Amino acid sequence: MAIYRHNPAYDSPARPRIPVKLFLGLAVAAIALISYCSKSQVNPITGKTQHIGLSTQQEIAMGLQAAPEMARQFGGLHPDQKAQDIVDTVGQELVAVLPPEAGQYQYEFHLLADPKTVNAFALPGGQIFITAALFNRLETRGQLAGVLGHEIGHVVGRHSAERITTAELTQGLIGAATVGASDYVDPRATQQVTGMVGNMILMKYGRGDELESDRLGLRFMADAGYDPRALIVVMEILREASGGSDRPEFMSTHPDPGNRIEMIQQELARMFPGGVPEGLRE
């Protein structure tokens, strides 16, 4: 009678096991991606699908809460009421021609006292700022309309809210990479690399936001009766103020003004195939 003897050579190879920390990292990444994708909605003004986790009321509240501190960082509000009135007048002319869907925001325009920083920016929900340093470089109300129209574009484009959601995804993926790779590399090195990649992603979104806001600003300017070509002059002012920086465009949140001028010219040709109408205010 034959006796069966076990021969280990015929055993099936053991299945590789996924390290626990790698599995946890993948789980964290999956949760971050699912959360991000669940926050998808179509912007009724731009027609773009965005990932946003804030309501418009939350955007407004966030902007109102941050506005005093932002003003303080730029020297507070400018004391020249006449200049502030000009900013308010041009701003409200633009607001009056916005699509109905954009009327849900609370638009307020602030002239800041900072005489050195050439800048303008918008907070979520409609708080819009321009520094005296930029305001004083502008020569016409049309150029001011270009600046404010661009910032309104950021508001209705919901760029801040979109970047907040993107930042949450980026932080989730950084955390996932840190957990998953901790058995193989120094966690600090992983955080540095993934953090750098995350910053590059956010900067890319920033450049796209700027170009979209330029396009929206041109539309709002023209609808309010201003010559949209004034935005080209604004870009030239910004280029002069930048001092010809050699910083590569892909490392900056703002596209090079020269590239923006080219895009603006292309957009104007699309908006007005027969040329910009006569009689618009400069």
pLDDT tens digit sequence for 191-250: 554 455 445 544 455 778 889 999 999 999 999 999 999 999 999 998 888 775 545 444
Question: Taking 60 as the threshold, does the pLDDT of residue 11 lie above it?
Answer: no
pLDDT single digits (tens) 21-40: 554 555 555 654 554 565 57
Residue 45, in any domain of the structure = yes
Question: Taking 80 as the threshold, does the pLDDT of residue 271 lie above it?
Answer: yes
In three-state form (DSSP H/G/I as H, E/B as E, the rest C), the secondary structure along 212-271 is HHHHHHHHHHHHCCECCCHHHHHHHHHHHHHCCCCCCHHHCCCCCHHHHHHHHHHHHHHH
Q: What is the mean pLDDT of residues 178-193?
A: 51
Residue 8, in any domain of the structure = no
What is the span of the domain harbouring residue 139?
20-271
Residue 5, in any domain of the structure = no
Residue 26, in any domain of the structure = yes
- Residue 17's pLDDT is 58
Q: How many whole angstroms separate alpha carbon 88 and alpha carbon 110?
A: 8
Q: What is the model's pTM?
A: 0.76
Q: How many domains does the chain have?
A: 1
More confident residue, 128 or 21: 128
- Residue 208's pLDDT is 84
pLDDT tier at 251, thresholds 50, 70, 90: very low
Six-digit token pair at 105?
Answer: 């925001």
pLDDT single digits (tens) 72-85: 999 999 999 999 99
Residue 67, in any domain of the structure = yes
Residue 249, in any domain of the structure = yes
Residue 10, in any domain of the structure = no
Q: Are 70 and 134 in contact (CB under 8 A)?
A: no
Q: Are 218 and 228 in contact (CB under 8 A)?
A: yes
Residue 58, in any domain of the structure = yes
